[in-house]
Amino acid sequence: SFPLPDLSRKVFVFRNDPSDAFVVLRARPERPLHNFTVCLRSYSHLQRPQGLFSYATKAQDNEILLFKPKPEEFRLYVGGKHVAFHVPGAGHRDWQHVCAGWESATGIAQFWLDGKPWPRKGLQKGYTVGGTASILLGQEQDGFGGGFDPYNSFCGEMGDVYMWDALLPAEKVRAANLGLRLPPALLAWHGLAYELRGDVVVAARLREGFRG
- What CATH number does residue 30 fall under? 2.60.120.200
204 domain residue, yes or no: no
* Tens digit of each residue's pLDDT (9 = 90 or more) over 14-34: 999 999 999 999 987 789 999
84 domain residue, yes or no: yes
* Tens digit of each residue's pLDDT (9 = 90 or more) over 153-164: 999 999 999 999
168 domain residue, yes or no: yes
CB 63 within 8 A of CB 78: yes
How many CB atoms lie under 10 A from the CB of residue 38? Answer: 25
* Tens digit of each residue's pLDDT (9 = 90 or more) over 24-70: 999 877 899 999 999 999 999 999 999 999 999 999 999 999 999 99
The pLDDT value recorded for residue 89 is 79
Whole-structure pTM value: 0.95
The domain of 65 spans: 12-198
Cα separation, 190 vs 176, whole angstroms = 12
Q: Is the C-alpha dihedral spanning 113, 114, 118, 122 positive or negative? A: positive
41 domain residue, yes or no: yes
7 domain residue, yes or no: no
Cα separation, 49 vs 193, whole angstroms = 27
92 domain residue, yes or no: yes
Number of domains in the chain: 1
